[in-house]
Every structure is written in C-alpha cells, then in structure tokens.
Structure 1
Amino acid sequence: MSEQNKAAAKRVFDAWNMRDLDAFEEVVAVDYIDHDPQNPFADTHGPDGVKQLAQMYLAAFSDLRFLVNEQIAEGDFVTTRWTATGTNDGEMMGMHATGKSSVVQGITISRFRDGKAVEGWVCWDALGMMQQLGVVQPARSAAT
C-alpha cells in the first residue's frame, strides 16, 4: 500500500506540472482537508479546494514546475520533499506580478484512505519566496 500511496502523492505534483486539474478528482478524496496555513482556500475541502489553489498559483506562476525530490511512506502517510520553480508573471492574493523567478523548497505530508489523499500538511518556504520576488526584504546580519 505504501508504494501505491507514494504514486498517488506524486500524481498530485504531476497534475500540477501537466496543468491537469481534473486529475485531482482521481487522487484527492471529496472530504480532503488541507492544513496548509498559507492556503487561502483551506476551507474548501476536496478536489475543488485543491483546484482553486492550483489555479491561483498557476495564474501567478505560469511556468510553475514541481520536482519531487524524495518520498517516504509509512502506513497511511506519505512525506514528499519537493522543489518548486517559477516566474511570478501574474497577480497572487493582491500582489502584482514581479517578473522575478523563485526556487522554493517544501515538504508535504499526506494521509491516504482507499488510494486517495484525505488530509495534507504542507510546510514550505513562503518567506524565502517573497524575498526572492522582492516583496519582502532579505534578512540582514545583526552585525551590520
């Protein structure tokens, strides 16, 4: 079951890369809950919430790509370490396009039931992305 769950977790990232948002119906349960604190659509459960999130990011980063770096599975859980790259060429949550590129690292923990994700926890470098886009100033050394 662990290998099947890993494949299903990877399928989510592949769907983003292929812009195949209907594929979320295949791997995301109707009662899916996203625990990502950065997700403005977290209250919309199931594939529809994932689609809304994907549409927002794909509109903001039209060349967005995910690379699955590593996966670890145990029981009903799959942990996926990923890297996302893209150029901010569209509006996102009220922020105008910057035209800058970013490389972001993240980890997603997914819980599966009957081959579909039912919960997800995402931790990713949102601050680093905003710094790369020039929206937030990078940290400075206390010595300067």
Structure 2
Amino acid sequence: MSIDRKACSKKLLELWGDNAVHQASDYLADDYVNHQFPDAAGGTSSKSLSEWKALVSDFHEGFSDVKMEVLLQVAEGDYVCSRWRMTATNTGAFRDANSTGKTTTWTGVHTDHYEGDKLVESWVEWDKSSWLEGLGL
C-alpha cells in the first residue's frame, strides 16, 4: 500500500513546527538529504538526516510558540511541493544571535522527492529577509 505523499509532506512540516522530528523516521529514507537556500547561517547547505534533526532542535532552543501552517500543496509523480508559513518567537539564542524577544513570520517552499514510500530529498527555499526583519535584525 502506498502512502499519501501530500499528507506525508504536510506531517513532516508539522513535526518540524512541533519539534518532533524524532517521529519522522517512518517517513524519511536513511540517506535523506535536505538542501537549504538560504540556510540560517547564510549561503546554502545540504544536510543529512541527523544534521537536519539537529538543525530543527537548535531552532527550537532559540524559538518558542512555533506555528507551522501549510498553505498549499501540489503533487506530481514522485514530487510534492508545499508552500508554508511559520511564526515563532525568539526567546533564546540561535546561531550567533542573542534573543530578541520578538515574534516573526516568514514563508517558504519545500519541494520533496519520494522514492517508494520514503522521502529521500527536499529542497527548501524560504524568505530569510522577512525572518530577519521580524526579529529586528
């Protein structure tokens, strides 16, 4: 029985927002790769499954009241594209920045590639400018 890939992609985004990516292993291939543009440190990056889980954990150490909302999804073949909006309050240090105490909202797009019932690769593009502006940085 095959999975509902749109539902799977939505669930993974919700797990990200809930800091529950430890529950994501059922959906992700062991060699999953997450490509970020931009990444939070600037530039681009590609993260393995363990690096991606660490990124989510680090984010949640610096941000609380995280709300992830999936706005739109389109699926074609082995791909699912999800447009999302995230809101979070910066209540702790994140990367090299101290807490601002501000709430920020930004949007992004995930394009997920599946092989069978497992997500093997994601490409993430997000509005870093809106994120930084909301933080007053």
Fold agreement, TM-score > 0.5: yes
Relative distance call for 1:82 and 1:2 in structure 2 (3 A) is: farther
CA distance in 2, matches of 1:67, 1:120: 18
Percent same amino acid among aligned pairs? 31
**1:83-140 Cα distance to aligned partner (Å, 9 max, x none):** 00010111111110100010111111010112221111111111111111111xxxxx
Asked whether the 8 Å contact 1:16–1:65 carries over to 2, the reply is no
Cα root mean square deviation, aligned: 2.1
Matched residue SS, 1:36: strand
Relative distance call for 1:2 and 1:76 in structure 2 (3 A) is: farther
Name the aligned partner's letter for residue 100 of structure 1.
K
- The answer to whether structure 1 residue 35 and structure 2 residue 35 are counterparts is yes
Name the aligned partner's letter for residue 48 of structure 2.
H
Matched residue SS, 1:130: helix
- Normalization by structure 2: what TM-score? 0.88
Q: How far did residue 43 of structure 1 move? A: 5.0
Query: 2:26: which partner in 1?
Result: 26
**1:4-47 Cα distance to aligned partner (Å, 9 max, x none):** 1111101111212333222121111111111103066x55412x
- The answer to whether structure 1 residue 14 and structure 2 residue 6 are counterparts is no
Aligned with residue 79 of structure 2, among 72, 77, 80: 77
- Normalization by structure 1: what TM-score? 0.84
Relative distance call for 1:94 and 1:67 in structure 2 (3 A) is: same
Deviates more, 1:24-33 or 1:74-83: 24-33
Name segments (4+ residues, structure 1) moved above 6 Å: none
Query: 1:59: which partner in 2?
Result: 61
Relative distance call for 1:69 and 1:132 in structure 2 (3 A) is: same
Unaligned runs of 5+ in 2: none
CA distance in 1, matches of 2:85, 2:63: 14
State the number of aligned residues. 134
Greater share of strand residues, 1 or 2? 2
Unaligned runs of 5+ in 1: 136-144
